[in-house]
Amino acid sequence: MPLAKNTRREQDQPPKRKIKFFGFLAGERMINPCTVAGLLLAIIAVVAAASYDRERLEIAKQILEEVPLTDGHNDLPWNIRKFLRNQINEFELNTDLTVVEPWSISKYSHTDLPRLKTGMVGAQFWSAFVPCATQNKDAVQLTLEQIDVIKRLVEKYPHDLQFATSVTDILEAHSARPRKIASLIGIEGGHSIANSLGVLRSYYQLGVRYMTLTHTCNTPWADSSNEAPVANGLTEFGEKVVREMNRLGMIVDLSHVGENTTRAAIRLSRAPVVFTHSSVYSLCNHKRNVPDDIIHSLKENGGIIMVNFFPDFVKCAPNATISDVAEHFHYIKRMVGADYVGIGGDFDGVNRVPRGLEDVSRYPELFAELLRSGQWTVQELKNLAGLNMLRVMRQVEKVRDEMRTNGVEPEEHPDSPNDNGNCTSNAFYTEYV
């Protein structure tokens, strides 16, 4: 009977509460204090890491508030041609294109105004690109049409975009309230001049401020990285092109260009040259990337490499991460310093992007990643963001002004190189009586 009474008393007591601690059922056992302390330390570490991530991102955004982030290459204008045949009256760049076809279903689409603003882009070189298939055909006409659509797009959004051709224009757009995105034009491929110095000069007058000497095809005067070399450097006409670009104040771009032509252009150019969207060959041995010896000569020239985000150039593989991209920046900085590097995302021109750099909205995350490494000071990141490119542009403008002051005349070439396939007329050689 006493046993039964005790049992009944125990049954009358409320059940002992089982303790659930962060997902673990402790039952009636006491939790080891060491276990609790370990879990608390882990939680504190996670919270602290998240706090540091937020702090780094805020510092990154502050950097981009102060300095115009200048990207060297975006292919949105070519996508406008592909998708819309350059008909932009009904095109709404100021909407979220991730929900608008055909942009939403294209792997090549990474750009719209909302994302540019989120990415804090301060200045963008828009590419006036036409394919190599147009060489010796209608390259000049199509290039003019691409220049036209860029300028029309800028005019359509005067509160968001400002056409720019100089350092002064970029700084003016960045200091405007509300801030505007300075919009510059670069031509991607020397085939666009159709072997004519007069066409080159005309492009400058229309606002073009850099030209890539080649795209994926050789021209009669320069070699591409994509084809077997023919010029093995620069021909006499090719040298005239570089000198005339110096005289005009047009930046020489060496992305896509063969190594010997690249070396010849760096030796010849009186102004700094750039790689608007290339990465490091030693980290990914792709022919589009820049070997170490050229990186060193680029420092002597005063130019910059604007790192490309395409995974094939970053990792020589279909996939890459934001950390993989950061390694290219680190490598260049360790080799020649933080004054010779910039950003050339190549958005809208590639069909794969790194995880963490999915579109133009993600530039602040890139700067936060560089901060996380502990290898960059705030001033160095300001240089990377835009000050390096502004320095290059100032020097290009200075060389232009000095050449004009010294009376350097425009280059001439009575017999510009012509390929047999050129649709040309010899009418101007006709003797009139």
The pTM of the full predicted model, rounded to 2 decimals, is 0.87
Do the bridges between strand 24-25 and strand 20-21 make them parallel or antiparallel, or are there none, so unpaired? antiparallel
Do the bridges between strand 208-212 and strand 181-188 make them parallel or antiparallel, or are there none, so unpaired? parallel
Q: Which of 110, 174, 191, 215 is catalytic?
A: 215
Mean pLDDT confidence for 66-85: 98
328 a catalytic residue = no
Q: Which of 169, 346, 348, 359 is catalytic?
A: 346
- 6-15, 94-103, 152-161, 293-302: which has the minimum mean pLDDT? 6-15
- Among 174, 90, 235, 177, which Cα is nearest to 385's? 174
207 conformational bin, left if phi > 0, alpha if psi -120 to 50, beta if neither: left
Mean pLDDT confidence for 206-219: 98
277 a catalytic residue = yes
Sorted by where each begins, the domain ranges of the chain are 49-405
Residue 46 confidence class, pLDDT cut points 50, 70, 90: low
The DSSP H or E segment spanning 275 is strand 274-278
Spatial neighbors of 411 by CB under 8 A, at least 6 apart, are 197, 240, 241, 243, 244, 247
- 8-17, 96-105, 306-315: which has the minimum mean pLDDT? 8-17
Q: Which amino acid, residue 231?
A: A
Q: Which of 110, 174, 191, 277 is catalytic?
A: 277
| Predicted confidence (pLDDT) at residue 198 exceeds the cutoff of 70 | yes
Q: What is the pLDDT of residues 410-431, one digit of tens each?
A: 999 887 666 545 566 554 444 4
Spatial neighbors of 315 by CB under 8 A, at least 6 apart, are 284, 324
- Judge contact between 253 and 292, C-beta under 8 A: no
| Predicted confidence (pLDDT) at residue 3 exceeds the cutoff of 60 | no
Q: Which of 169, 188, 253, 359 is catalytic?
A: 188
Mean pLDDT confidence for 101-106: 97
The DSSP H or E segment spanning 57 is helix 33-66
- Judge contact between 347 and 110, C-beta under 8 A: yes
Q: What is the pLDDT of residues 146-186, one digit of tens each?
A: 999 999 999 999 999 999 999 999 999 999 999 999 999 99
How many Å apart are CA 194 and CA 342, to the nearest integer?
Answer: 30
Q: Which of 110, 174, 191, 256 is catalytic?
A: 256
Q: What is the pLDDT of residues 263-283, one digit of tens each?
A: 999 999 999 999 999 999 999
Q: What is the mean pLDDT of the chain?
A: 90
How many Å apart are CA 309 and CA 322, to the nearest integer?
Answer: 9
How many Å apart are CA 233 and CA 257, to the nearest integer?
Answer: 10
- Residue 397: helix, strand or coil by DSSP? helix
Q: Which of 75, 160, 327, 397 is catalytic?
A: 75
Q: What is the pLDDT of residues 363-394, one digit of tens each?
A: 999 999 999 999 999 999 999 999 999 999 99
Spatial neighbors of 36 by CB under 8 A, at least 6 apart, are 21
293 a catalytic residue = no
215 a catalytic residue = yes
Mean pLDDT confidence for 293-299: 98
174 a catalytic residue = no
Residue 11 confidence class, pLDDT cut points 50, 70, 90: very low
What dihedral angle (degrees, nearest 10) is formed by the CA atoms of 273, 116, 322, 342? 20
Mean pLDDT confidence for 44-72: 87
How many Å apart are CA 202 and CA 185, to the nearest integer?
Answer: 13
Decide: residue 182, CB within 10 A, 0-12 exposed, 13-18 middle, 19+ buried.
Answer: buried
Instruction: Give the CATH number of domain 49-405; options: 3.40.50.1000, 3.40.50.300, 3.20.20.140, 3.40.50.740.
Output: 3.20.20.140
